[in-house]
Structure 1
């Protein structure tokens, strides 16, 4: 019955798990998918817990089944032993009954002899009572000669001895037969009692055997139920994994679409603001070459409304994007392809936006460097990272604001800072409009 119920449960579980697959396709929100993934994780944990519990239950039932089977075998051995003893006792009872039959015959013979002797003795007593004790003397005195007297005396003595022997023999026969009969009756009663005791013991053992068989059947049922539960949870885990894969795929698709939309928007924004950015950059470069304060010109770029986060917060810009005199080589009119943020060594560097890591290693004059692909041909570059400061690897998916490295002074630099670039289709653009 429990197998049937378990089978129905598995079918219902399959219908329940495989049914909502279309529902996942209808979800268009990453937040909703994350919520479903979290719920799936909880279900996975619950399924694994149920599976572990079923395995423990299976193991325990198997243990007790094995133990009960050993006990059952012991009981069966005892039953066989008792049956053997009962067979032996049955043989003894039959033998005793046969002996009792023989003794009964002997007793009949003895009683016949006793009866015969009793008649003879009764005739003797009757004769003595009728003639009196003096008759023995009369017999002697009526002798005709001395030799006749002696013969008569010997005859009388033989008669007296015979009477005495009859009395003794009569008593002995009766006692012997009675004693033998009592002995055999005792043996018979003892054998009968022993057989009854063994039969009672066998009955108890049979009850124990039935009890052990019932326990084994119970543990078999427990094992089957645990196996069914384990199979159900296996099926559920497989389906949950399938659902999770479908959700992850849907999530990646939505993110890719969102990234493409952002990249397209960023590209359009970059094109729209390219002219203004170029004008500002030219103005900044002109101001720097005429001896004006580079810090003052940099302040013009502080606080934009672009799509990217500032990678190191509100740090001061120590060198803007554009043409400048190279601080290391002294080369005049050298193009500075990014923006330098003046930050102490070890400052956390954050991803300007979500994307996939393309580079996470030493990269020429940039020193240790990380490049992130944000989709739509837009990249961001983070240079001069300290040795051992890279916290991501190639192929990693990073989120907006995630710490990816620590600032340093590796590569071609004069001191600790972060060199930050934005590249569109591989070409550098002014990062400031994007921040």
Structure 2
């Protein structure tokens, strides 16, 4: 009995000597991990701020791109209208040129008629009016009778009237053709001036069109740069979440070791007290009493070693994993990183397997989101949770099938559903083989 008591005393002494120093080191490690976790949380907030800023820049650039597209459509409509007017004016110029050609032909004919009349008049002057007014008198005085005199007077009058009519018609022909030609030349000049003005307007519109195209290209570049920044920040968030998960695991391990040491110290203290009681009993009686041994129960949780539970039970898949046309931006070929289950608002979401919650908050385009670390680098992600629908917090331990949230439509979402992902070492994989 004395040997037993001596052995227990040695054990107690060993625990007393080594426990404080080791415990102090572990406490320091926990504090350091907490400091690192705090720094990680700060980096997470900064990454989220950058991601939100990039999303805001993308939205702003998309707004101005849409506005510029509308302006471009208006400019293109104006260009088409000006082109139509220029076609009409080109036809008008062509018709005016044809009219000018016709008028020029008519002028040539009129001038020929005038020349012909002038020749006739010249002949008459040479034949009858060589001596001016005296010729009229000679004609009349050479009459043989009064009747002949009257006939000659009538003939002279007819000739004079015809000559006057020829002269009047001659003047009218020349004046009409000249006026018509001047009118058509004025129309031609006006049409050419209008065509020139429209050509200048068309050139200005083409410059505006080029300017709008440059703006659209500029906004497209901004959108691409913002998307790249958002993707970069998303990768950073995944990396930070991995580091936080590793630190939490290390912290839990240290805490478990500290708990084990505390249990060992308690057990040693119990042994010391038992030894003291045994020593007292040995002194009081020859019959020793046996010390009672403590029993421990091992509690734990069973991990998922098979397919994951379907997080929302039987539900329709509204969008599978893989490339698709983005339902919001319309971008083609964008990889859908998970599986969407169409479920009503407020549907219970169950943990696909047991694990530790490493994120339960708003996370960029996922809206309110939960990420569970199942160990071995395996995560599951539950996105678009409704506002107020989170049922767990970061650091919580969950069992397979526990309700962790309620479905909703927060973040980049077109309607109530659950976005479910599986990630291995932070990288997305097709969730279907795991369900």
- Normalization by structure 1: what TM-score? 0.55
1:249 aligns with 2:249: yes
Equivalent residue number for residue 231 of structure 2: 231
- Comparing 222-231 with 59-68, which one deviates more in the overlay? 222-231
CA 1:33–1:231: 2 relative to 1, 3 Å: same
Equivalent residue number for residue 433 of structure 1: none
Q: In 1, distance between residues paired with 2:191 and 2:99?
A: 13
Aligned CA RMSD, in angstroms, stands at 2.8
Q: In 1, distance between residues paired with 2:34 and 2:141?
A: 148
1:171-210 equivalences in 2 (<5 Å): 171-210=171-210
Q: In 2, distance between residues paired with 1:229 and 1:277?
A: 70
CA 1:268–1:66: 2 relative to 1, 3 Å: same
Q: Which runs of 5+ in 2 are unaligned?
A: 1-25, 280-394, 398-435
Equivalent residue number for residue 52 of structure 2: 52
Per the TM alignment, residue 277 of structure 1 is displaced from its structure 2 partner at its CA by: 9.7
Q: In 1, distance between residues paired with 2:101 and 2:256?
A: 109
Q: In 2, distance between residues paired with 1:193 and 1:27?
A: 92
1:215 aligns with 2:196: no
Equivalent residue number for residue 107 of structure 1: 107
1:41 aligns with 2:45: no
After superposition, what is the alpha-carbon deviation per residue over 1:75-97, rounded to whole angstroms, capped at 9, x for unaligned?
A: 11111111111111111111111
Q: In 2, distance between residues paired with 1:126 and 1:197?
A: 58
Q: In 2, distance between residues paired with 1:271 and 1:396?
A: 35
Q: In 2, distance between residues paired with 1:277 and 1:396?
A: 43
Q: In 2, distance between residues paired with 1:206 and 1:214?
A: 12
Equivalent residue number for residue 14 of structure 1: none
Per the TM alignment, residue 268 of structure 1 is displaced from its structure 2 partner at its CA by: 2.4
Equivalent residue number for residue 86 of structure 2: 86
Per the TM alignment, residue 276 of structure 1 is displaced from its structure 2 partner at its CA by: 7.2
Equivalent residue number for residue 17 of structure 2: none
CA 1:227–1:111: 2 relative to 1, 3 Å: same
CA contact (8 A) 1:28 1:254 kept: no
Per the TM alignment, residue 191 of structure 1 is displaced from its structure 2 partner at its CA by: 1.1
Q: In 2, distance between residues paired with 1:86 and 1:140?
A: 70
Per the TM alignment, residue 113 of structure 1 is displaced from its structure 2 partner at its CA by: 1.4
Q: In 1, distance between residues paired with 2:278 and 2:68?
A: 89
Equivalent residue number for residue 413 of structure 1: none
The count of corresponding residues between Structure 1 and Structure 2 is 258
CA contact (8 A) 1:27 1:33 kept: no
1:25-40 equivalences in 2 (<5 Å): 29-40=29-40
Equivalent residue number for residue 297 of structure 2: none
1:146 aligns with 2:150: no
Q: In 1, distance between residues paired with 2:182 and 2:396?
A: 105
Q: In 2, distance between residues paired with 1:154 and 1:278?
A: 180
Q: Which runs of 5+ in 1 are unaligned?
A: 1-25, 280-394, 398-435
Per the TM alignment, residue 124 of structure 1 is displaced from its structure 2 partner at its CA by: 4.6
Q: In 2, distance between residues paired with 1:27 and 1:200?
A: 82
- Normalization by structure 2: what TM-score? 0.55
Q: In 1, distance between residues paired with 2:81 and 2:134?
A: 74
CA contact (8 A) 2:111 2:174 kept: yes
- Comparing 236-245 with 124-133, which one deviates more in the overlay? 124-133
- Comparing 85-94 with 110-119, which one deviates more in the overlay? 110-119
Q: In 2, distance between residues paired with 1:250 and 1:243?
A: 10
After superposition, what is the alpha-carbon deviation per residue over 1:385-406, rounded to whole angstroms, capped at 9, x for unaligned?
A: xxxxxxxxxx999xxxxxxxxx
Q: In 2, distance between residues paired with 1:265 and 1:250?
A: 22
Q: Secondary structure at the match of 1:144?
A: coil
CA 1:64–1:27: 2 relative to 1, 3 Å: farther
